[in-house]
């Protein structure tokens, strides 16, 4: 179930209050590759083990939020900080 586009227009990061956008397909693929390699943790320090079907990223590209079954999971501890990656620009496309 894809994310409702009307909902996307009103969502903001609960921490920074910055708007979010859907993560592009190429960035999602790059993130899922890092997840597959075991190189992704959420803000709580838990390793992400399952690939994401959709995700949101903050306007400034600093945080990714998973979308599960069309529902954005906008919880601070479930957020994925982008600064943990060697090349954070892979998620900027």
DSSP 53: S
Query: Which element (helix H / strand E) includes 20?
Result: strand 20-22
pLDDT in tens, 17-58: 999 999 999 999 999 999 999 999 999 999 999 999 999 999
Write down the mean pLDDT value for the chain.
90
Cα radius of gyration (the chain): 12
Measured between alpha carbons, how far is 15 from 90 in angstroms, rounded to an integer? 23
pTM of the model: 0.89
| Cβ neighbours of 8 (radius 10 Å) | 15
Measured between alpha carbons, how far is 51 from 28 in angstroms, rounded to an integer? 9
């Amino acid at each position: 179930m894809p994310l409702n586009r009307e909902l996307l227009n009103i969502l903001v990061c609960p921490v920074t209050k910055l708007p979010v956008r859907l993560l592009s397909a190429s960035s999602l693929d790059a993130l899922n590759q890092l997840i597959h390699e075991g190189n992704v943790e959420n803000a709580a320090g838990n390793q992400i083990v399952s690939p994401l079907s959709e995700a949101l990223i903050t306007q400034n590209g600093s945080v990714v939020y998973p979308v599960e079954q069309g529902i954005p999971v906008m919880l601070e501890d479930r957020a994925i900080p982008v600064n943990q990656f060697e090349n954070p620009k892979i998620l900027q496309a």
